[in-house]
Amino acid sequence: MKAIRYHQVGGPEVLRWEDVPEPTPGPGEVLVRVQAAGVNFADTERRRGLYDAHVPLPRILGSEAAGVVGAVGPGVDAAWLGRRVVALTKQAYAEAALAPVAGLLELPPEVSFAEAAALLVQGLTAYHVVHTVGRVESGQTVLVHAAAGGVGLLAVQLAKAAGARVIGTVSGEAKAKLAREVGADEVIRYDQEDVAVRVQSLTQGRGVERVLDSVGASTWKASVDALAPFGHLVSYGNASGPPPHLEVDSLYAKSLTVSAYWLHTPTPPEVQRRAREALLQAVVAKRLRVVVGLALPLSQAGEAHRRLEGRDTVGKVVLLGAD
């Protein structure tokens, strides 16, 4: 089969479209014929050797795959064959990928493969930063950084559905327009305004109860400054670099909480099942809009990475397999 691999860390040019052996599903596994693979910012960090760098090379990237079950391993019900599914995987930038049967999510016909590829890494991240960690409640005001990104657009919608007032930060008017379309009550152009000052203006000097921050270094001070007394900052990414060292003493004046979320933290199966089903049901019912901002063939993964790193995308970036 064909897959995208890299043999050395570096820029997008190290990604190669090449022949590799097709994997064989083991006990409890299925082989998914990939129709759409999700692209995440963490993939670019892995490619550059900045994250998860202990994995030997050559390596196939990709953490989520949507497609059709083409083979089943020992002990797996053959009824899975031919079903449309999405799953968390480890090598999704390929024409076929293995996935544990216990983690498969069957897709109804209303959900496309491209939409499904946004529901696991980014969808689950958005769900958990809003509900599991952030515990957003009705009546709160929530600041969502990178509100036009894949997680950001979903987090805006989930926070709105929870009854919150949502303020999003973006760069560029096109991104601002999209954030408003999915439900942001206010949008701050961080390339034109001081975020913390604008938040104080929008909240009559109180600040926000929650900040959802995937950016890190460049937004950290504004995130802390934007919080209301007893506010809670949830950090779940460092697209601009790691946040600065946190002095606990700096939290006392407003009795602030700072926490973090990582998708790979072991989550109780019932919590994860509930999150996945809630996301899927919301998409089917059209209560949750999945924005696929860029879809390219699998062979063009390098271009997808260039666009993503250049902040030239909105919503989810996916790589499409052959029909």
Q: Where are the domains of the chain?
A: 2-119+290-320, 122-260
pLDDT tens-digit profile, the chain (323 residues): 999 999 999 999 999 999 999 999 999 999 999 999 999 999 999 999 988 888 999 999 999 999 999 999 999 999 999 999 999 999 999 999 999 999 899 999 999 999 999 899 999 999 999 999 999 999 999 999 999 999 999 999 999 999 999 999 999 999 999 999 999 999 999 999 999 999 999 999 999 999 999 999 999 999 999 999 999 999 999 888 889 998 999 999 999 999 999 999 999 988 998 999 999 999 999 999 999 999 999 999 999 999 999 988 999 999 999 75
Identical fold for domains 2-119+290-320 and 122-260, yes or no, is no
Distances (CA, A) of 312 to 19, 268, 305, 316: 30, 36, 10, 12
Q: What is the pLDDT of residue 322?
A: 74
Encoding tokens for residue 85? Answer: 């599914």
pTM: 0.92
Distances (CA, A) of 198 to 72, 126, 205, 258: 54, 24, 10, 21
Write the CATH number of the domain with boundaries 2-119+290-320: 3.90.180.10
Listed in sequence order, the DSSP H helices in the chain are: 41-47, 113-116, 121-127, 150-161, 173-181, 195-202, 220-226, 269-284, 301-309
How far, in Å, CA of 282 to CA of 289, rounded? 8
Encoding tokens for residue 132? Answer: 């599991």
How far, in Å, CA of 130 to CA of 312, rounded? 25
Q: What is the pLDDT of residue 5?
A: 98
Domain 122-260 adopts which CATH fold? Rossmann fold (3.40.50)
Helix (H, G, I), strand (E, B) or coil at 203: coil
Q: What is the pLDDT of residue 323?
A: 59
Q: What is the pLDDT of residue 161?
A: 98
